A and B are shown apart, each in its own frame.
Chain A
Amino acid sequence: MTLIDLVRKNLFRKRLRTILTLVAIFVAFVIFGVLATFQNAINAGVEVAGADRLITVNRINFTLPMPLAYATRVAAVPGVARVAHAEWFGGYFQEPRNFLVAFAVDPKNYLDIYPEYIVPPAQREAFLRDKTSILVGKSVAEQFGWKAGDRLPLKSNIYTQKNGSDTWDFTIAGIVAGNEARVDTSFVMFHYQYLADTRSFGDGTTGWMILKTTDAKENARVMREVDALFANSAFETETKTEQAFNKAFAEQLGDLGFIVTMIVGAAFATILLIVGNTMMLTVRERTNEIAVMKTIGFTTQRIFGLVLGESMLLALIGGLLGIAFAWLISFAMAGPLSRFGPIAFSWDTAATAFVLMAVLGLLTGLIPAIRAMNTDIVTALGRK
């Protein structure tokens, strides 16, 4: 037997109570793990945003269009290395519930500006060559089982064709992968020109522009000068860094960080009370045993360590089980929820969870451990 065995035996001496407490900790860590993973997915765009990329949108609202001619004028602003433009298609496959993040883009510039999108050279060439081709993000392709060469009819909930049809026919030219796991590939992109030639309205307009600057240090000046170009026009613009734009876009769903913090905070405050109360009860019940241990020579520090070790072990077991289960859930959700971003359990989440386990163990064990440490032998054994 070792002191760790002693901690373990003490922890599981009232099995039902310990299991119920572990379930409470388990649930809190599942909530934390799943929400943090979801938040990471939503924020992935913010984290991978290029420091030298700017987004220019219509000043009134980013869903409103702007003249396509702006792209040429913006390209002439000193400090702008490259300009691409994109349009929201509002696409879906067969039924509205098969909603897709679909962009009509300026293909070459767009792919050049986003080097994190990896397309095999042959597929890239095929895409650039054929105006009716489409590139499909890897997670979408996996979700629907699509591959290069497949025919893909897409509908739009915004546009109709000049001929009255609401369906655009595409050929999948290739699959877009990310250069790292957190790059979102839950989208499809096709030629802006195909949309411009066929849609029944919106001539000469596009949705937004992506500007690559020569140096991130130029961003502030470029943003000012671009917006100044179109000031007092019918289509005023607002230019932001890509990171700021993606963050604002993600927060359309609400301040996720705040929501996650509140939910996780409530869950942890609850288990803090439950576990803290359990530990207090445990120590109170064992006052006599603690006094006996002190009598036979256990120092106050050792008693403190044993009780604190118990609460730490409790938090660690419940927390690790919870985080493991959250990992399984995120693994299972990766496909169905890929439209929200790359759902993947991150090491950062695991590290944060580990810190939370330590804090939980410490906070719930500290007062009972001090109480145990200060147990007066004479009083506890009723010998006065």
Chain B
Amino acid sequence: MSAPLILLKGVTKSYTRGKQTVPIFERLDMTIPTQDFVAIMGPSGSGKTTLLNLLGGIDKPSGGEIVFDGKRMDNLDESRLAGFRAGNVGFIFQFYNLMPMLTASQNVELPLLLTKLGPKARGDRVKTALEIVGLSDRARHKPSELSGGQQQRVAIARAIVSDPKLLLCDEPTGDLDRETAGEILSMLQTLNRDLGKTIVMVTHDPEAARFAKRTLHLDKGHFSEKDLAA
């Protein structure tokens, strides 16, 4: 197995609702090797999305350690976490979350505005990302002019354009029909297999999970593992 990209050591997470403290995880351990493609399944409220938020550095654990590529990230301040996300993580959401006033290529370019790349280098990267997702001919279209599947491809292009090591997908096919969902999941498989992206995907759909190398079942803050790709 490859070296771990992400390590969770004794991670606890709880939320406060009114006077009540609601525990999500208690001493959760997890290892995600580089170039892994892991699906996380579980019932609603099991903590799937919270886990994804912790891995992506958009939420902080209440305790324990999260190590990314050998460096602790749970103790980074807000500004450094933003930098961590920009440089290391690509996010793919269920409802695409594209900017409606921007064209497909401008949406893809958005993360690159945070880099020091010049206009030409940015343009080249955007072109490549759109080619990978097969949407070169839709570069000038706005999200409202694209189908759901095409919008999700633009979102994938946006997620990979800055060449992150990790892709976090939150129900990426939850809003798509079966055929389009299959195309998107195949694309994620390609990104994992050919480009070496480590992918963590939250899904309710066992069919979607079959595209991953392995599936982790999360329930009441604990994992049970079945390696479907074996």
Residues of A with Cβ closer than 8 Å to B? Answer: 1-3, 6, 9-10, 12-13, 288-289, 292-302, 377-378, 381, 383-384
Cβ of B225 within 8 Å of any chain A Cβ, yes or no, is no
Q: Quick one: given A10-B101, A289-B97, A292-B97, are A298 and B58 in contact (CB under 8 Å)?
A: no
Report yes or no: B97 in contact with A1, Cβ–Cβ below 8 A. no
CB-nearest residue of chain B to A383: B49
Within 8 A of A (CB), among B105-121: 106, 109-111, 113-114
Report yes or no: A296 in contact with B101, Cβ–Cβ below 8 A. no
Residues of B with Cβ closer than 8 Å to A? Answer: 15, 49-50, 53, 56, 58-59, 78-79, 82-83, 85-87, 91, 93, 97, 99-102, 106, 109-111, 113-114, 158, 170
List chain B residues, Cβ under 8 A from A1: 102, 106, 109, 113
- Measured CB to CB, the closest approach of chain A to B98, in angstroms, equals 8
- Measured CB to CB, the closest approach of chain B to A354, in angstroms, equals 28
CB-nearest residue of chain B to A293: B110
CB-nearest residue of chain B to A14: B101
- Measured CB to CB, the closest approach of chain A to B167, in angstroms, equals 12
List chain A residues, Cβ under 8 A from B97: 288-289, 292
Tell me the dominant secondary structure on chain A's binding face: helix
Report yes or no: A3 in contact with B99, Cβ–Cβ below 8 A. no
Report yes or no: B101 in contact with A9, Cβ–Cβ below 8 A. yes
Measured in the bound complex, the distance between the Cα atoms of B15 and A164 in whole Å is 100
Partner of A296, one of B49, B59, B91: B91
Q: Quick one: given A3-B113, A297-B87, A384-B15, are A289 and B56 in contact (CB under 8 Å)?
A: no
Report yes or no: B78 in contact with A300, Cβ–Cβ below 8 A. yes
- Measured CB to CB, the closest approach of chain B to A260, in angstroms, equals 40
Partner of A289, one of B49, B85, B91, B99: B99
Q: Quick one: given A1-B109, A383-B50, are A296 and B99 in contact (CB under 8 Å)?
A: no
CB-nearest residue of chain A to B155: A292
Report yes or no: B113 in contact with A378, Cβ–Cβ below 8 A. no
List chain A residues, Cβ under 8 A from B79: 299-301
- Measured CB to CB, the closest approach of chain B to A370, in angstroms, equals 15
- Measured CB to CB, the closest approach of chain B to A28, in angstroms, equals 27
Report yes or no: A292 in contact with B93, Cβ–Cβ below 8 A. yes
List chain B residues, Cβ under 8 A from A302: 114
Partner of A378, one of B53, B85, B106: B53
Measured in the bound complex, the distance between the Cα atoms of B85 and A112 in whole Å is 77
Report yes or no: A377 in contact with B83, Cβ–Cβ below 8 A. no
Question: Could you list 7 further interchain pairs (A-B, Cβ under 8 angstroms) beyond the known A297-B82, A377-B53?
Answer: A1-B109, A295-B58, A296-B86, A297-B111, A298-B82, A300-B82, A377-B58
Report yes or no: A295 in contact with B106, Cβ–Cβ below 8 A. no
CB-nearest residue of chain B to A292: B97
Measured in the bound complex, the distance between the Cα atoms of B97 and A302 in whole Å is 19
- Measured CB to CB, the closest approach of chain B to A282, in angstroms, equals 12
Partner of A297, one of B86, B101, B109: B86
Q: Quick one: given A1-B106, A378-B58, A383-B50, are A294 and B101 in contact (CB under 8 Å)?
A: no
List chain A residues, Cβ under 8 A from B56: 295
Report yes or no: B111 in contact with A296, Cβ–Cβ below 8 A. yes
Measured in the bound complex, the distance between the Cα atoms of B93 and A381 in whole Å is 10
Report yes or no: B102 in contact with A9, Cβ–Cβ below 8 A. yes
Measured in the bound complex, the distance between the Cα atoms of B114 and A110 in whole Å is 70
Q: Quick one: given A288-B97, A384-B15, are A299 and B113 in contact (CB under 8 Å)?
A: no
List chain A residues, Cβ under 8 A from B83: 297, 299
List chain B residues, Cβ under 8 A from A9: 101-102, 106
Measured in the bound complex, the distance between the Cα atoms of B82 and A299 in whole Å is 6
Report yes or no: A297 in contact with B114, Cβ–Cβ below 8 A. yes
Instruction: Sort A-B residue pairs by CB-CB distance and give the 10 closest, nearest first.
Output: A297-B86, A13-B101, A299-B82, A292-B97, A377-B58, A297-B85, A383-B49, A9-B101, A296-B111, A1-B106
CB-nearest residue of chain B to A377: B58
Measured in the bound complex, the distance between the Cα atoms of B158 and A298 in whole Å is 14
CB-nearest residue of chain B to A302: B114
List chain B residues, Cβ under 8 A from A13: 100-101
Q: Quick one: given A13-B101, A289-B99, A383-B50, are A295 and B113 in contact (CB under 8 Å)?
A: no
- Measured CB to CB, the closest approach of chain A to B145, in angstroms, equals 15
Measured in the bound complex, the distance between the Cα atoms of B33 and A117 in whole Å is 89
- Cβ contacts A to B, 5 pairs, < 8 Å: A2-B113, A9-B101, A297-B87, A300-B78, A377-B58
Report yes or no: A296 in contact with B110, Cβ–Cβ below 8 A. yes
CB-nearest residue of chain B to A294: B82
List chain B residues, Cβ under 8 A from A295: 56, 58, 85, 91
Measured in the bound complex, the distance between the Cα atoms of B109 and A293 in whole Å is 12
CB-nearest residue of chain B to A378: B59
List chain A residues, Cβ under 8 A from B111: 296-297
List chain B residues, Cβ under 8 A from A289: 97, 99
Measured in the bound complex, the distance between the Cα atoms of B87 and A299 in whole Å is 13
List chain A residues, Cβ under 8 A from B85: 295-297
